[in-house]
Amino acid sequence: MSIGELAHRTGASRRMLRHWEEIGLLVPAEVDERTGYRKYSVSQTGRVRAITALRAVGFGLEAIADLLSSDLSEARLEAVLRAREVDLMVEISEATTRLQEVRRRLDSLDEGRRTVMNSLELGPLPGLRLAALQTCVGDESEIGMAVDELTRALRAQLSELGRDDAEVVLAYDGMADEETISVTAGVSAGDLEVGHELALVVVPSSERGVTVRYESAPRSVGDAWITLDARLEQHRLRTEGVYRQTLTAEGGVVLQAPVVALS
């Protein structure tokens, strides 16, 4: 039969069959010396289906060649299967890790919905004067690392001054510069003197704002903001301006942001 007929009978593409032939995995039953035309026997459909089946469960072509070899030894068979076992165990471990992350995000969204439903408050937000550390990032994905670094440095200073109980305020401002996001970590300027590494940062007040209080830190602050924004849409509102995140002395988190009407 022709390569087209073999492809039709087995479901393998002609391109694949040619590739397997090139690497010696599939040898034509007959080759016309004058035209180079290849013919395959009906019995070779079984080999092609075996190759396809082994590929489907993840075996590489080299391993398949060993498995289909007429002189396959028991030792080689075990080695090939053991290698595939290791590969599958790694894949399962990686998939399990990804599954856990997906479930963590789902739990985070559920937690956020409950918290927002029970604690969302609409009202004015006071202005803040912070003794703070500040940096800029180029993308939202970089905020988490920046917050970790700033918070660690700020808490070290608080510890030296015996002010471990001070509430830390984080602020994110992407409005002042289209190219960067300003990230701030500070405490009330009345709790810590401005100077040395600390700068005075003023967060403006807002006549219209939203507040959500978490009794403990949410699993994902990013997901918490997403849930908050989704809830605000039901009120025909959206967040805009400087976002605030207060880390309370009791271990809770307060999210606040100015709001405007949806256009």
d(CA 242, CA 67): 63
Is the model's pLDDT at 143 over the cut of 80? Answer: yes
DSSP SS3 for 11? coil
Residue-averaged pLDDT of the chain = 88
Is the model's pLDDT at 254 over the cut of 90? Answer: yes
Per-residue pLDDT tens over the stretch 240-251: 999 999 999 888
d(CA 34, CA 48): 26
Position 43 scores a pLDDT of 82
Position 14 scores a pLDDT of 87
d(CA 105, CA 99): 10
Q: In 10 A of CB 87, how many CB atoms?
A: 14
pTM: 0.67
The one-character DSSP state at 198 is: B
d(CA 91, CA 57): 12
Amino acid identity, position 112? G
Q: Which domains does the chain have, with CATH numbers?
A: 3-72 (1.10.1660.10), 119-261 (3.20.80.10)
DSSP SS3 for 212? strand
d(CA 202, CA 173): 12
d(CA 6, CA 77): 28
